[in-house]
Each structure stands twice: as structure tokens, then as C-alpha cells.
Amino acid sequence: MKLSKKQFKQDFEQRLITKFATDVTKAGPQEKFAALASVVKNYYSKIWQADNEYKDESKKKQTYYFSIEFLPGKMLKSNLLNLGILPTVREGLEDLGVDLDEIAIIEPDMAIGNGGLGRLASCFMDSLASTGLPANGNGIRYRYGLFKQKIVDGYQVELPDSWLDNGNPWEVRRSDKAIEVRFGGEVWLEDDGKGNLIPQYKNQERVLAVPYDTPMVGYENTTVNNMCLWRSEVPKDLDLQFQNLEYMRQTAMLSSELYPDDSNYDGRLLRLKQEYFFVSAGLQRIMRHYHSTIKAPINQIAEYIAVHINDTHPALCVPEFMRLLVDEYNVPWDRAWDLTVKVMSYTNHTILSEALEKWPEDMVKTLLPRIYQIIVELDRRRTAELLPKVGATLVHNTRIIKDGQIHMANLSIIGSHSTNGVAKLHSDLLKDVELHDFYEIYPERFNNKTNGIADRRWSQIANERLSTVIDETIGKTWRHNLNDLKLLEAYKNDTETLERLDAAKFDDKQRLAELIKERNGITVNPEAIFDVQVKRLHAYKRQLLNVLHILKLYFDIKDNPELDMVPRVFIFGAKAAPGYHYAKSIIKAINEIAGMINNDPEVKDRIKVVFMENYNVSLAEVIIPAANVGEQISLASKEASGTSNMKFMLNGALTMGTLDGANIEIFDAVGAGNYFKFGLTKDEVYAYYKNNNYNARDIYEQNPVIHRILDAFIDGTIPNISMEGPEIFDSLTTYNDEYFVLRDFKDYVRAQKSLETLYRDKTAWTKATLMNIANSGRFSSDRTVREYAEDIWYIKPKQ
Ligand code: 26Q
């Protein structure tokens, strides 16, 4: 949009008056933020309205992205950037004596997601709007987002994230579009005399779902999409006798808290209720819109809408869509099924068995009696139809209902026309191993969509310095088409460019060093290698491998106090699921090891270990630009994709990585000299499983370096740990090291040494940095969503 600085200043000052009866000299930071957000909202509202009108009139097919998590972070700068007014606003504020960054920091992170999957959903929301693709998010407006992490005495403590206390300037509550969702009660079918079976209900629990719409503003275009989040409320017309306290509490709980589990299935009833709540509300809203606006016959619905199931959490989309078609719109069963499969598509984000959702039949039957009937009928018909075609074994292995449980992945695959993994390796594993039986039956449904990131947030917003260097080197087209970063390659031997890249990185490291000083009270040297591992804490991600390497370096120094090594700052950021005891023990161990090393005068600042509290999107925006190295060290086959690996690459950090997830594609893109590869391959891992011949204790017994490091956990070397020490020690020895940490240790140390060698050659290092940036174009989520649009959703961009 066009906006003069003068106009902006006028708008901002005026808004301070109308909203708070104050002026720029007296307004507090919260007031300034609210006034600025309100001005920005005003700017995009007209575009939003116009785009809604365009969508209603053109009636072009739209995607509805159903996700139980979204993780957008702060929205102010992103909205300014996408409207094309970030510099104007920054300068206008400066004229008024206001620093944009000081206002932006006030906005709470919108953190209604755990990590990878939720952040991916938000990257997609940005990219869908920015590529002009008509799409909508659908989720839950949790009153409390992901917990805030405090470290107390080295331990993680969880505090509630009450992010809505000062209101949310971006959302629009649409009471007029509220929808009822019903649970429980009894259901039976009655013949209407014309041969139709009509479901009758009794004693259902009613919940009102109120939509809150948040605009997703496209980057310098005219698209503004919508992310719809549902809040649960008690229906207004409910008789007072039903309004008992317990019912009101239950209702509020539906949209009260995000489950803080990442990659772990939690079988609680409330979770299942949340899943049905946002699925039913979302699909009902789609149906209403279809009838009020699209006005096409119901049997053409697949030409107008696509529904995406983000992991299995919204898998109830399949039976709920069937219910709406069959019960509410009288579509014959077979036709309804055909439409459902055409409309639905599904993404799998993990192969970890403990993360796969299965719900007890009884629970589903009690909570969602009609949905249960539909699932039983789907399973019955499918079994009857497929038995003669593919045989009993395949049918049995792929049934929706097995051993008294409803398998949500099976439901999602069977009820949709597309199942994709999130990186090549992961998608291959789904086809060849994990979902092979499904692949035999429905080979055409399987495909890969390698993840991507909203590059504008991770470069233009998070790393303005680097962005400017890139502009000055190759011009600005990369801001619209990330593939143009390839132009940088022509400068890989250009000393001046390399020096400027290096200077930008140094600035970003200094900024992080200041934050570390402020938050952790630790002084770190910006000349040191900033070696970063930031992600959820999980055994398979192997933060422990990183820790063992740090201990090795520490003992190297203790053995040889004059050791010549490049100083390193090891930076961690990680939340553990509150119930994940082992992960919490690793956090405690990292903090105690940090204390031991940072305070040992003999180390002489050659190693610093920093655990940064409360890792979230905003912190990532400061940490990642400052990284020299990104640790992507999961056991091969376990990390479906990873996306922080892409963020590091785009910011000129080199990857220390296993051949897992999207790391492989990063390795292929940058080439062997610009990536530190180590560890078992997925085939080697699977061979260990097959032959059952891994013996971790042998490694502990036979490798004196490992022996000494592990003993540090149980012999009092690491201070202030109690049960955490033996717990970690036993996991690696007695319990045979589930994720092959000890097996990969030696090769990891080798790769770390070669990293150090390269870092000593500044020019060579920065050149590798440049090669990483230059080849990160493929990892824009603009590319990813275009692939989904073309291959899965069949939707077209505007214009
Ligand atoms: C399920 C049932 C009950 C409670 C919680 C859950 C649950 C919640 C979140 C299960 C899994 C998750 C999150 C999974 C996740 O984030 N997976 C990550 O997805 C990223 C995006 O595709 C990948 O890059 C990561 O590799 C993958 O781990």
C-alpha cells in the first residue's frame, strides 16, 4: 500500500488521542503499541474487505487448513513488512522520538502451538497469503498458550501464558457467526417413511463455538486470508437449570489450554473434545458459507473447497464431513464418501509410535455417538469391499478400528485422496515401511511435500543487517523470489562481500551476546563460535549428544590446560513437555554442566554454555541470525523434517547434521564442503533394529573417552545433580541408549573437529556461509504451499 510518512504520523498521533486521550510524549509503551496496531489494522482492513468480496464473487476454490496448533509469534512487524510500510513507519516513529523495536517488543508472542507443526502452520499461513492462494486457517483460540518456561535452580518450571490480558488487536470476534457443537447424549435412527434413516438425538450437551478471525496479510499484494480460531462458550439461550457450574467449567475448558505435548500422544478425554470442537465448528462454518455464498449444488462441493488435516489431530474431519453431508444435506452415503475423499487431504508429521493417536472405542462412542456410528459404518463397508480385492491381511492391518481403538492415522489416510510426509526421507519411510500396507492399497495417494519456512520473517524481519548486505550485493529481487539468492554464488570469492557478510554476522552475535548478558548474566565473546541447538527437548533430537561433546572438550582442557582451541559458546533453547521427566532431567543436567564449566577458571572462556530460558518464536528471531552453527543431530529417521535447519541456513549458519529429515536436502543443496555431516544413516539404524544387535554398554566399557564422560553423571563431577545423573547414565547404558547417542558420538567428535578447522580459516568459513544462504531458496514455504496447491488442493493463485 501507499503511505506517506506524514500521513502515518498524523494517523498515529490521532489514534493515541482517540484511543487513550494521550499524546506521544506521555503515552506508555502499551498504549503506543495498541495505537500503532490499531492504525495498522485500519490500513489492512480495506484490503481485507475487498479481498473477501473478490473471493465471494469469483467463487474460486479455497483451502481450509485445519490445525490444532498455530505458532505465529508477534504479528506487528510482519504486518508492516507485508503491507510494504515497514520503513515508512519506522522513520515516522523516529521523527516522533519513538523506537519501533521498543514498541514491537510489547506485543505478546501468539504461541498457541508447541513447536514444529504449529510453526509450520503459521509459515504456511504467511506463504499462502503471500503467494495469493485463497486459504483459511482453522483452529482453537486457547486462552492460555504454550507455558512460559522459567529455570529455577537449574530445573524447568512452567508458568501460564496468559497472552490475552491486554487484548488482541488483530482478531475480530464474530458473534453473529457462532455455531453450535454437540457432545454426548443418545442417538438412534428413525425411518422417515420414505426409506431414509434420520438420526434422532436426546440429552446432548450443547457448546457454542464463537469464531475469532485474524487476517493473514500477503506480502506486497492484495490478498488477505483468514485464520479462524474458535472459542467455546455456553449457549445464551440455555435454560438456567442447565447452567450449572460444572457444565460451565467444562465448556470453558474446551478452548482454555493448549496441550503442551510435542510428539507424544495424550489420551485424555478433553483432548478428544477439543479435536471435535474445532473440527465440527470449522466444517459447519464452511457449509454455511457454501449455502449462503457459493450456492452451488451440494454434490459439487469438492470443486469449491479443500480441507487439510494437519497431522491426525483434526482427523475427525472425515466422519464429521460425512455426518454433515448424509444427515444434514441428505447426500446418499456412497456419494458423500466420494466427496469426502476428494475434499480431504492429510499430512503426517511423525513416525514415532508414541505420537500416533488412538482413541478407545468406548470413549468415542460416549462422547460422539453419531460420529462413532459413522466410523463403524465406514470401517464395515470398507472391509466388505476390500476383502475380495486385497485379502485379509492387508485389510486387517489397515482397519480404522482395531483392538478396541480408533486409529486416527488410518482414518485420515482412508478418508482422504492425499497423504504426504514432510521431507523426502520421511515420505519414503512412510511409503516403504511405516505405512507400507496403505501404500500397497492406495499407491497414488502418497506423495512428498518438503517443508519450508516463511523466509520473510526469518530474514527480512529477524535479520535486517544481513538483508541489507544481500540487497547491496545482488539487488532486492530475492525479497520476492527467494530463489534469486542463487545470484550470491557469483560473489563467493569476492573479498568485500565476504567481509560484509562477516560483519553482519558479527553484529548479530553482539546483539545476542548482550541479551545473554542481560538474561543469564554470562559474558560471551562474539568472536567465539556460536554453536546453537534450539528446539523442543526430546530424546530423539539428542541434545544429550551435544552435551557429551561439550563434556569431552571440557575434559580435554582439564587434561591439557594450554589446549589451543577456538573459543565456543554453546547455546541451548528448549522446552520439555511438563510430564516428560527424562527431558526435564536433561535440562537440569545442561544447566549444572553450564555452571560447572562457566565458573571454572581453568577453562579461561574457551567454552561457555548458555541455556536460554523460554525459547519461543521471538527468541528464535534473535538467536538464529547470530548462529555460526546449527545443531541438527537427531537420530537418522526420527526427525520427520525439521524446519529450524532451514532458518539457520538462510541466516548463514552451517549445519552440523545427521542425514535425517530435510537435513539431507540441505546437504544436497549446499554440497559436502559446506555442511558437517556425521552419524548413522537411516538404513544403518534400521539394520540395527532388524538384527537387534546394538549394545551400548559395550561402547561404554570399551571407549575410555565415553566411559569418563558418562561417569561424570554418577561420580559427583557434575555438581548439584541428584537422580538426574543416574537417570541419564542408566538410559545410555542399562537401557541400551534408545537413540544411539553413544554409537554416533565418535563420528560427531570427528565432524566437530573439522568444523573447528574450517572456522580457523575465516575466508573459507564465510564462503561456506555464503553458499548456505545462496542455496536456501528452495526452502521457502512459498515453494511448499505452491506444491500443495498444485498437487493436492487444486487451488489457483489470484490473478
Ligand atoms: C497428540 C495427541 C495428544 C496430545 C498431543 C499430541 C501431539 C501434539 C503435537 C502430537 C504431536 C505434536 C507435534 C508434532 C510436531 O511438531 N512434529 C514436527 O513437525 C514438523 C513440521 O512438519 C517437523 O519439521 C518435525 O520434524 C516434526 O517433529
Q: Residue 211 is inside which H or E element, if any?
A: strand 205-217
Task: Tell me the pLDDT tens digit for each residue of 304-334.
Answer: 999 999 999 999 999 999 999 999 999 999 9
Closest CA to ligand 1's atom 25: 642
Which domains occur in the chain, in start order? Answer: 59-74+109-451+784-793 (3.40.50.2000), 455-779 (3.40.50.2000)
How remote is the CA of residue 116 from the centroid of ligand 1, in Å?
6
Contact 133, 797 (CB under 8 A): yes
Q: Is ligand 1 within 6 A of the CB of residue 766?
A: no
For the CA of 118, the nearest atom of ligand 1:
16
Q: Is ligand 1 within 6 A of the CB of residue 422?
A: yes
Q: For residues 454 and 456, what is the distance between their CA atoms, to the nearest angstrom?
A: 6
Q: Is 647 a catalytic residue?
A: yes
Q: Quick one: which of 205, 171, 172 has its CA closest to 186? A: 205
Name the grid cell of 39. Answer: 492504525
Q: Is 393 a catalytic residue?
A: no
How remote is the CA of residue 118 from the centroid of ligand 1, in Å?
8
Closest CA to ligand 1's atom 8: 262
The 8-class DSSP code of residue 204 comes to P
Name the grid cell of 566. Answer: 577456538
Contact 187, 200 (CB under 8 A): yes
Contact 305, 290 (CB under 8 A): yes
Task: Tell me the pLDDT tens digit for each residue of 571-614.
Answer: 999 999 999 999 999 999 999 999 999 999 999 999 999 999 99
What does pLDDT average to over the chain? 97
Count how many residues are written for the chain. Answer: 799
Task: State residue 245's pLDDT score.
Answer: 84
349 CB-side CA count, 13 A: 22
The 8-class DSSP code of residue 31 comes to H
Q: Tell me the mean pLDDT in the region 217-230.
A: 98
Q: Is the pLDDT of residue 286 over 80?
A: yes
Task: Tell me the pLDDT tens digit for each residue of 401-410.
Answer: 999 999 999 9
pLDDT band at 353 (very low <50, low <70, confident <90, very high): confident
Q: Is ligand 1 within 6 A of the CB of residue 579?
A: no
Q: Is ligand 1 within 6 A of the CB of residue 357?
A: yes
Task: State residue 241's pLDDT score.
Answer: 65
The 8-class DSSP code of residue 268 comes to -
Q: Is 349 a catalytic residue?
A: yes
Contact 426, 447 (CB under 8 A): no
Calculate the CA dihedral of residues 788, 792, 798, 799 and round it to 10 degrees.
110
Task: State residue 242's pLDDT score.
Answer: 63
Has this prediction a pTM greater than 0.90? yes
Name the grid cell of 22. Answer: 494521550
Q: Is the dihedral of CA 199, 411, 230, 284 positive or negative?
A: negative
The 8-class DSSP code of residue 613 comes to S
Closest CA to ligand 1's atom 14: 263
Q: Is 541 a catalytic residue?
A: yes
How remote is the CA of residue 117 from the centroid of ligand 1, in Å?
5
Task: Tell me the pLDDT tens digit for each residue of 490-542.
Answer: 999 999 999 999 999 999 999 999 999 999 999 999 999 999 999 999 999 99
Q: For residues 263 and 258, what is the distance between their CA atoms, to the nearest angstrom?
A: 14
Q: Tell me the mean pLDDT in the region 6-11.
A: 98
Longest dimension (CA), the chain: 93
Contact 512, 530 (CB under 8 A): yes
Name the grid cell of 624. Answer: 538464529
Backbone φ and ψ of 717, nearest 5°: -60, -50
Q: CA end-to-end span of the chain, whole Å?
A: 18
Q: How many CB atoms lie within 10 A of CB 41?
A: 16
Q: Indicate which residue of 449, 541, 682, 767 is catalytic.
A: 541
Q: For residues 279 and 66, what is the distance between their CA atoms, to the nearest angstrom?
A: 7
Task: State residue 606's pLDDT score.
Answer: 98
Q: Indicate which residue of 285, 456, 505, 535 is catalytic.
A: 535
Q: Residue 36 is inside which H or E element, if any?
A: helix 29-58
Angle made by CA atoms 514, 520, 526, in degrees to the nearest 5: 35
Backbone φ and ψ of 532, nearest 5°: -120, 135
Q: Tell me the mean pLDDT in the region 663-686.
A: 98
Q: Quick one: which of 313, 206, 210, 290 has its CA closest to 251? A: 206
The 8-class DSSP code of residue 307 comes to E
Task: State residue 240's pLDDT score.
Answer: 66
Q: For residues 141 and 281, what is the distance between their CA atoms, to the nearest angstrom?
A: 12
Q: Is the pLDDT of residue 138 over 80?
A: yes
Q: Tell me the mean pLDDT in the region 453-480.
A: 98
Amino acid residing at 151:
I
Q: Is ligand 1 within 6 A of the CB of residue 271?
A: yes
ipTM of the complex: 0.97
The 8-class DSSP code of residue 528 comes to S
CA 554 from centre of chain: 34
Q: Is ligand 1 within 6 A of the CB of residue 632?
A: no
Task: Tell me the pLDDT tens digit for each residue of 630-667.
Answer: 999 999 999 999 999 999 999 999 999 999 999 999 99
Residues of the chain with pLDDT > 70: what percent? 99
